[in-house]
Amino acid sequence: MDTMQESKILTNTVEVEGAALIELLEGASTHAHKDKSLLSLNAVQLEAEGAGYLVARATDRFRLITGKIEVESGQLTKSLIPLSDVKRVIELSKSNKLSRVTLNRIGDLLTISVTGSSITVQLLDANYPDFTTILDKIGRELDPRELSFNPALFADYAKIAGKGKAVRVEFTGEGRPMVIHLPITAVEWTALLMPMRTI
């Protein structure tokens, strides 16, 4: 395959509502690992699926979250954005959150444009965990005998849900992740919190 064909395959564009993108990225970034040396985890993965959604994924190995917002059209192949650049995208989107934001990927560069301003970020080339296998294997055995978790990790759900909103926790069995049900707004969330081992 020549370079021209390869470039066409990796060229994709999607347009989203600014306020929804901000909510999506702010929520997902709470679950990204804060250690910059862990490249694949100190990031948020974006992908526009064929079903008309832009999906954001993040994990810090103790939790994982996916959120999705509607897009009118377009596609975006899996794009792993460093957390520092995610913050830049959020700031740019906040400059006019009532506008539409365009995300355009060419090769390993992602350009984000809103109302005449734009930034370009270098995407990470790193092995990212496959969320689908974990999410598909979640059981529905509601019989936890004992459960331990780090309350500091749980606190981020209040930031995503918003003040005064309820967060529902579904226990899937002893030693298995808890499913965190967050209120649906512009973003539809799926979140897991891994149990801690007690010593």
The pLDDT score that the predictor gives to residue 143 is: 52
Q: What are phi and psi of 112, to 5 degrees?
A: -115, 125
pLDDT digits (tens, 9 = 90+) for 110-152: 999 998 899 999 999 988 887 766 666 555 544 555 667 777 7
| Average pLDDT taken over every residue of the chain | 84
Residue pLDDT, tens place only, 141-195: 445 556 677 777 778 888 888 877 888 888 877 778 888 888 888 899 989 888 7
pLDDT of res. 186:
87
Q: Which ranges of 69-150 does DSSP label H, i.e. alpha helix? A: 83-94, 131-136
Q: Is pLDDT above 90 for 21?
A: yes
Residue 16 structure tokens: 């989203």
- What 3-state class would DSSP assign to 10? coil
Nearest to 89 by CA among 132, 51, 44: 44
Q: Residue 95 is which amino acid?
A: S
Token reading at 48: 């526009």
Provide the pLDDT for residue 193. Answer: 87
pLDDT mean over 35-62: 89
Coil, strand or helix: which one is 48? strand
Question: Which domains are delineated in the chain?
Answer: 3-125 (3.10.150.10), 137-193 (no CATH)
Give pLDDT, residue 170: 84
Query: Does the reported pTM lie above 0.85?
Result: no
The pLDDT value given to residue 161: 87
pLDDT at residue 31 is higher than 90: yes
Residue 42 has pLDDT above 50, yes or no: yes
